[in-house]
Amino acid sequence: MREIVLDTETTGLDPADGHRVVEIGCVEVLNCIPTGQIFHRYLNPERDMPADALKVHGLSRDFLADKPRFAEIIDEFLDFLGDARLVVHNAEFDLRFLNAELARPQRPPLGMDRVLDTLALARRRHPGQPNSLDALCARYGIDASRRTTHGALLDAEILAEVYAELSGGRQTSLRLGTIAGIAQKVLVHGLRQRPAPLTSRLTQLEAAAHAAFVATFESAPLWNLYLEPAVPV
């Protein structure tokens, strides 16, 4: 399944107060695995940058002054999304801002029916525990040290790793690794060995007849290679 892990940075907390999107970061994943395809844009919000927001993401008004406006990248953005499901942490916040931006040029909104909210998913998996992105990184052993400030693309990349964990990604790989390790221990000369060999059903007469038959060969039969003592595991 194609999904888009998405994050935004904004000038504030509520688009109804005139706040705007200043960065969009998207990471494409197929079956929870990043494909390497991304969408990333800094945006000119056409307004000032409040000090509180600047402390969060570090995107100044001067830095954003020459960046495209949202209306200029709408088609490219929507084409990248396609009809994929959107994976967003605290999705209501990001969708409210994106839909406010889409409403300006009278474009249809992004529906919550196509969104998977990883915050809601984490709260179901870990009720009563902190479920911020940083908390989930700590819980799943994901390195978030590069996250000195918030950034939409960086947060989307980290969220993609968190999403894989919430979907059971690492647990599955660990289970497969364990099975592979067990299989390796019971393989001798490429054959799978029983933990306890079965008792032979050959009679002494049959075994003697077989040995006499093998003695007629000009060279030792190949299967003798598999009768060597097993390597200790």
Q: Is 36 helix (H, G, I), strand (E, B) or coil?
A: strand
CB burial string 66-75: b at 16+ within 10 A, e below: ebeebeebee
Among candidates 9, 1, 5, which has minimal Cα distance to 115?
A: 5
Among candidates 148, 132, 136, 191, which has minimal Cα distance to 55?
A: 148
As given in the structure block, the two tokens for residue 199 are 């008792």
What letter would DSSP give residue 199? P
Residues tagged active-site: 150
Residue 3, H or E segment: strand 2-10
